[in-house]
Each structure stands twice: as structure tokens, then as C-alpha cells.
């Protein structure tokens, strides 16, 4: 801005604001994302390595799940945080392919880096990448194989193959055959209209072998906190009536809640008697309803526990909300917030209820539920970190089976789909002219990172195997991929290495979104952190270093 022929400075940003822009800033963002990719790429595939992450509290997590690693990495670079977002989005939407999407996004940026360094406009690169991504997704829809759901046996076999492929890259791959049936049974137990995976409860019991993991067709939860009299209650019922409450069944003294002034002893006695009448009226209503199992989100005190024990009724208080919700889904009835006027339709029922020992824990188990649209996986294993990784692995497999049910189109894994897309895009790039030819060819090269990284993580000769893959796909072998068992090339569709096509579609679109978002940023503005109050006589930030350096120079002299 000029005034009277002189330049007047205009201050827009606060003093101390970090303002970086231009090609250097864009390259810095790309390098940060590539550095994140370098960290996570070694976890890809059946023979990928695990990561051991330790937080500030000293708690450690061992995992090769991309979303878990990205969530636990304390990434401070603003551009690199975009990769965390796409990993979480892939995990929430699909459940698997979280490592693939980060690796692919990093490779797209790596390919774009050479163009940026040569001065090519990032908007041209973005345009080419979106064009290539759309072509790739259309090609996936074209080559995907649809499985007919009318044949239930064949369809169940499809689900098992997809679950097995998802587990092959996890810690439980050696026991994938054991867990595959369990995962498929768990998902098929759910209501097939909404397939709410939250209705599959997962409980962890340290100790025992991994093969002792079991699937309960119904609901199971750990024994809750119990008062005196609990052990006198029956622990087994056949066809019991089940009452679910959101009511506190404890004797409450009003003197704890309100100030009561009395002048005579009989007035005080009336208050005490009223308190007892309140709790007893609730308990009598419950007994009159015919319920044999009473569950409540709120505490059930020692008076109520002993009262129920004397009448051969089982009770459990402080039941977790998600567990009680699943109980209602399984046995029927509803959660009541009052004990008055309990109707028979508000009670649930199951064929068998029991409390039994599983490992070092006691569990309340409801089996044979007439409205069973829920189930519970009870995981066993040695270390808690190992069980936590089993839980993450089964979650991925459950999500994959869910996606396979809603979209019964599959593609072959092991890099077969990516190599076919790469071949298709490379041929398309040769058919067009102009700069876009280079960007679509770069996208095709980036897709090859998946089979290349699978080979590198397994210790195979990636250059040799990729050349063989290119040759096979050029001959028309659509599903040629890496055979991880025999260190060679094979038809992965015939080897039953199957994945739902939505994994690939979502991964390509998410990776392209992340890469183009970062390429569209040409300036980073970082506000100065708020100044912290200093103690009297304290040195300003950085002064200690200057003092030490000054002393060092003095000593040197």
C-alpha cells in the first residue's frame, strides 16, 4: 500500500507468526508425509513387521494395524496429520486396508515431488491424479467378481476367504483357520438389515491358550461388584424371566440428602420407617413380577442382595450400559426406570442363564436367546498386549465380513488388483498427449508400491517379481499377484486371496484425496504459542543455551 509516494508497512499477522510459503514449503510437506510412510510401510502384508509403541506413561502397544499405529504416533507436523485422518477414516468405513491407504498416499506424493521440483504447477498434478483415480475405480468395478448370495454354502465360503485374507497380515495368521469360522458366525448372528458391529461384544480374559477363545451365542459379561449375600443366590436357571433396570436398589438415609429437624423420638422413627418402606416396596414389586434374574445399571446394595438371595433370585448391579443394552437386544423386554407396575411384556427370557468360571474371571452368560441379534467373543491369551492385538485383528476381520455381506463383489489381493490397475492406467497414458500423460503414468507407478512393499517385507526379490507381474498382466492374467507362501507369482483368485472391492475403491479415493489436499497447500501459517509466565529472575527461552555456549567459548579460550 502506498501513500504520498512512500511505502507504509501493513502488519496483518501477529509478531512472531511463522509464515512459510512457496515451493519449499510444499516440498517440506511432501517430505513429512513420505517420512510417515517410511515408518509404517514395513508393517504391510502377511510378513510385515510389528511396531512397539510406548507412550509417556510407559504403557506399550505392539501392533501392525495401520490405524492403531497412526493414532499412537505423536505426529506434530500439520500436513502429515492428514495421513492420520485417512487411516482413521479407512478404519471407520471399511475396517481394513489402513496401512495400504497411508502407503499409497505417501507414494503418490513421492511421485509428485519430482514434478514439483521441476516447477510444474501442483494444480496440473492434482487434475491428473483425480483423473487417474476415477479411471482406477471404474476399472475395479469392471473387473470385480460378484458372488451369488442365493447359494448360502458358497456365500459363506466367500465370507470365510475374505476373513482369512484380512487375518493373514495380523498376529493371529497362524490360527486364522480357527478364528475365521468364529468371525463369520459372529457377523451372521447379527441383524442382517443393519449389521451393527457394536452388538458383537468382545471380552478379554488374560491366561490360557489362544485356542481357548470362544463365541457365546448371546451375551456374556464379567461378574459385577457384589455385596454380602451374593454367594447365596442361585447361579443357574433354565428359561428364567429377566428384568433390566436403571434403578438404584440401596437403602438411602435421607439425612445424607436433606436436613430433617425432629422434636420427638417417634418423628425420627417415622422417617426411618419411611426409608425402609420405600426400598421394600421396590423389592416386593420386583419379586411380584416373577423375575428370576435382575440386572441394573445402578448399584444393588447389600439389603437388596440378601433379600433376593432369600427368594432364589439372582441380581447384578453396576452392569455396563453397553452390556445391558445387548442383554435387552438378546432376551427382549426393556430397561425400566421404575419398579412400579412391571408388566410381563417388559421382562426378557432366555433358555439358559449361568454364572461360570472362565480363566481367572467369573462371567454371567445368557444363552439360547429367542431374539438373539448379538453375540460375545471371549478372548484368551498370555499377555494383555497380545490379547489387545487379537481384538484389533478380529475387529478388522469382522468389518471385512460385514462389507462382503453388504457388497458381495470381490477382487484378488496380494497386489494383483493394483498391478492390473497400473497396467490399465499406463496403457491409457500412452493413448493421450500433453502433460496429463506424465501424471497418470506417475499414478500407475505409485500403485506398484503395494506388491513391491509386500515383497520387500517378506524378503523377496521385488525387482524380479514385479517384472514377472508386469509380464503376466500384459498377457492378460488379470489376477496375477504375489504368492507369499511359495515366493513366486500365481493367480490369487484361484488361491482364494480375496478382498471386498470396496477396500480398494475406498483406499484409492482416500489416498488421492490426501495427496491432492497436501499438493494444494502452498503456505503454512503457524501462530506463535502463548507466552508462559516466567518466575522472577528466570532466563528467557533459549538463554540457557546461549549462556552455556558462551561459557564453552570462554573455557576454550
* 180 in catalytic set: no
Q: Check if the beta carbon of residue 64 is closer than 8 Å to that of residue 385.
A: no
Residue 137 pLDDT > 90: yes
Q: Check if the beta carbon of residue 435 is closer than 8 Å to that of residue 128.
A: yes
Q: What is the pLDDT of residue 229?
A: 81
Return all residues near 491 (Cβ < 8 A) that are at least 6 apart: 412, 477, 479, 480, 481
Give the burial class of 549: count Cβ atoms within 10 A of its Cβ; 0-12 exposed, 13-18 middle, 19 or more buried: exposed
How far is CA 151 from each of CA 78, 161, 195, 506, 525, rounded to the nearest angstrom?
A: 50, 16, 20, 28, 58
Q: How confident is the model at residue 17 (pLDDT cuts 50, 70, 90)?
A: low
For the chain, what is the largest distance between any 2 Cα atoms, rounded to a whole number of angstroms? 102
* 65 in catalytic set: yes
Q: What is the pLDDT of residue 446?
A: 94
Q: What is the pLDDT of residue 416?
A: 92
Task: Report the SS3 class of residue 193.
Answer: coil
pTM of the complete model beyond 0.85: no
Of 65, 96, 325, 456, the active-site residue reads: 65
Instruction: Encode pLDDT of 49-63 as tens digits.
Output: 888 888 888 888 888
Total number of residues shown for the chain: 557
Q: What is the mean pLDDT of residues 202-222?
A: 87
Residue 131 pLDDT > 60: yes
Q: What is the pLDDT of residue 206?
A: 86
* CATH class of the region 219-371: alpha beta
* 433 in catalytic set: no
Q: What is the mean pLDDT of residues 218-229?
A: 86
| Grid coordinates belonging to 97 | 486396508
| Cα 436 to the center of its chain, rounded Å | 37
Of 99, 165, 374, 502, the active-site residue reads: 99
Give CA–CA dist 338/260, Å, rounded.
26
Q: Check if the beta carbon of residue 44 is closer than 8 Å to that of residue 100.
A: yes
Return all residues near 318 (Cβ < 8 A) that are at least 6 apart: 224, 225, 296, 297, 298, 299, 300
Nearest-CA neighbor of 81 among 512, 517, 504?
A: 517
Task: Report the SS3 class of residue 147.
Answer: coil
Domain at 152-217+378-407, CATH from 3.40.50.300, 3.30.260.10, 3.90.850.10, 3.40.50.280: 3.30.260.10
Q: How confident is the model at residue 473 (pLDDT cuts 50, 70, 90)?
A: very high
With b for 16 or more beta-carbon neighbours within 10 A and e for fewer, the 152-180 pattern comes to eeebeebbbbbbbbbbbbbbbeebbeebb
Ramachandran area for residue 25 (φ above 0: left; ψ -120 to 50: alpha; else beta)? alpha
Give CA–CA dist 65/43, Å, rounded.
8
Q: What is the pLDDT of residue 216?
A: 86
Count of CB atoms within 10 A of residue 490's CB? 21
Instruction: Encode pLDDT of 177-207 as tens digits.
Output: 888 888 888 888 887 777 778 888 889 888 8
* 396 in catalytic set: yes
Give CA–CA dist 120/113, Å, rounded.
10
How far is CA 481 from each of CA 119, 451, 469, 472, rounded to the nearest angstrom?
A: 36, 8, 7, 9
How far is CA 64 from each of CA 71, 180, 504, 548, rounded to the nearest angstrom?
A: 12, 19, 19, 43
Q: Check if the beta carbon of residue 501 is closer than 8 Å to that of residue 411.
A: yes
Domain at 18-146+412-524, CATH from 3.30.360.10, 1.10.287.130, 1.10.275.30, 1.10.560.10: 1.10.560.10
Count of CB atoms within 10 A of residue 345's CB? 8
Residue 211 pLDDT > 60: yes
Of 96, 323, 396, 456, the active-site residue reads: 396
Q: What is the pLDDT of residue 470?
A: 92
Give CA–CA dist 281/269, Å, rounded.
18
Counting DSSP H helices and E strands in the chain, the numbers are: 17, 23
Nearest-CA neighbor of 82 among 121, 33, 128?
A: 33
| Percent of the chain topping pLDDT 70 | 87
What is the enclosing helix (H) or strand (E) of 177? helix 176-189
Give the burial class of 130: count Cβ atoms within 10 A of its Cβ; 0-12 exposed, 13-18 middle, 19 or more buried: middle
Cross-strand bridge partners of residue 236: 354
Give the burial class of 340: count Cβ atoms within 10 A of its Cβ; 0-12 exposed, 13-18 middle, 19 or more buried: exposed
Q: What is the mean pLDDT of residues 125-131?
A: 94
| Grid coordinates belonging to 413 | 489381493
For the chain, give every domain's residue range.
Answer: 18-146+412-524, 152-217+378-407, 219-371
The C-alpha angle 295, 299, 304, rounded to 5 degrees, equals: 75
Residue 368 pLDDT > 70: yes
Of 43, 68, 98, 374, the active-site residue reads: 98
Give CA–CA dist 207/384, Å, rounded.
9
Nearest-CA neighbor of 503 among 414, 404, 421, 398?
A: 404
Instruction: Encode pLDDT of 263-304 as tens digits.
Output: 677 666 776 677 778 888 888 899 998 899 999 999 888 888
| Grid coordinates belonging to 42 | 514395513
Among 83-87, 390-394, 441-445, 529-533, the range with the most confident prediction by mean pLDDT is 441-445
Give CA–CA dist 146/500, Å, rounded.
10
Amino acid at each position: 500500500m502506498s501513500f504520498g509516494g512512500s511505502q507504509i508497512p501493513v502488519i496483518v499477522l501477529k509478531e512472531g507468526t511463522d509464515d512459510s510459503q512457496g515451493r519449499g514449503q510444499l516440498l517440506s510437506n511432501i517430505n513429512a508425509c513420505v517420512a510417515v510412510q517410511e515408518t509404517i510401510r514395513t508393517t504391510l502384508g502377511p510378513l510385515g513387521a510389528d511396531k512397539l509403541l510406548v507412550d509417556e506413561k510407559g504403557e506399550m502397544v505392539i501392533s501392525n494395524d495401520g490405524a492403531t499405529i497412526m493414532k499412537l504416533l505423536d505426529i506434530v507436523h500439520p500436513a502429515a496429520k492428514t495421513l492420520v485422518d485417512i487411516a482413521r477414516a479407512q478404519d471407520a468405513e471399511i475396517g481394513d486396508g489402513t496401512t495400504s491407504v497411508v502407503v499409497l498416499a505417501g507414494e503418490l506424493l513421492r511421485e509428485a515431488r519430482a514434478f514439483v521440483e521441476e516447477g510444474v504447477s501442483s494444480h496440473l498434478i492434482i487434475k491428473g491424479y483425480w483423473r487417474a483415480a476415477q479411471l482406477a475405480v471404474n476399472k475395479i468395478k469392471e473387473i470385480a467378481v460378484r458372488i451369488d448370495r442365493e447359494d448360502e454354502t458358497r456365500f459363506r465360503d466367500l465370507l470365510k476367504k475374505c476373513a482369512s485374507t484380512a487375518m493373514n497380515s495380523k498376529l493371529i495368521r497362524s490360527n486364522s483357520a480357527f478364528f475365521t469360522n468364529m468371525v463369520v458366525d459372529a457377523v451372521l448372528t447379527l441383524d442382517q438389515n443393519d449389521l451393527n458391529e457394536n452388538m458383537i461384544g468382545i471380552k478379554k480374559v488374560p491366561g490360557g491358550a489362544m485356542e481357548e477363545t470362544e463365541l457365546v451365542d448371546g451375551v456374556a459379561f464379567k461378574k459385577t461388584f457384589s455385596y454380602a449375600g451374593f454367594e447365596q443366590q442361585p447361579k443357574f436357571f433354565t428359561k428364567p424371566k429377566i428384568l433390566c433396570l436403571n434403578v438404584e436398589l440401596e437403602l438411602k438415609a435421607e439425612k445424607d440428602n436433606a436436613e430433617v429437624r425432629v422434636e420427638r423420638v417417634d418423628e425420627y422413627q417415622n422417617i426411618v420407617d419411611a426409608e425402609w418402606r420405600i426400598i421394600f416396596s421396590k423389592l416386593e414389586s420386583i419379586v411380584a413380577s416373577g423375575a428370576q434374574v435382575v440386572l441394573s445399571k445402578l448399584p444393588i446394595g447389600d439389603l437388596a442382595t440378601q433379600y433376593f438371595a432369600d427368594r432364589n433370585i439372582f441380581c447384578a448391579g453396576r452392569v455396563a450400559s453397553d452390556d445391558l443394552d445387548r442383554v435387552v437386544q438378546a432376551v427382549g423386554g426393556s430397561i425400566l426406570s421404575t419398579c412400579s407396575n412391571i408388566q410381563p411384556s417388559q421382562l426378557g427370557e432366555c433358555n439358559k442363564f449361568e454364572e461360570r468360571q472362565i480363566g481367572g474371571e467369573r462371567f454371567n452368560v445368557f444363552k439360547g436367546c429367542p431374539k438373539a441379534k448379538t453375540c460375545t467373543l471371549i478372548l484368551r491369551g498370555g499377555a494383555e498386549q497380545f490379547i489387545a492385538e487379537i481384538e484389533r485383528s478380529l475387529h478388522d476381520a469382522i468389518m471385512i465380513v460385514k462389507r462382503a455381506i453388504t457388497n458381495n463383489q470381490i477382487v484378488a489381493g496380494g497386489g494383483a488388483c493394483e498391478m492390473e490397475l497400473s497396467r490399465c492406467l499406463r496403457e491409457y497414458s500412452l493413448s493421450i498427449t500433453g502433460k496429463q500423460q506424465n501424471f497418470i503414468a506417475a499414478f500407475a507407478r505409485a500403485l506398484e508400491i503395494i506388491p513391491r512393499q509386500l515383497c520387500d517385507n517378506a524378503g523377496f526379490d521385488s525387482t524380479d517379481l514385479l517384472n514377472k507381474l508386469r509380464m503376466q498382466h500384459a498377457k492378460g492374467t488379470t489376477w496375477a499377484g504375489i504368492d507369499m507362501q511359495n515366493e513366486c507369482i500365481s493367480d490369487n483368485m484361484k488361491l482364494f486371496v480375496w478382498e471386498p472391492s470396496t477396500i480398494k475403491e475406498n483406499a484409492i479415493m482416500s489416498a488421492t484425496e490426501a495427496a491432492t489436499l497436501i499438493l494444494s497447500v502452498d503456505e503454512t501459517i503457524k501462530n506463535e504459542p502463548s507466552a508462559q509466565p516466567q518466575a522472577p529472575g528466570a532466563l528467557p527461552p533459549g538463554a540457557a543455551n546461549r549462556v552455556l555456549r558462551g561459557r564453552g567459548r570462554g573455557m576454550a579460550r
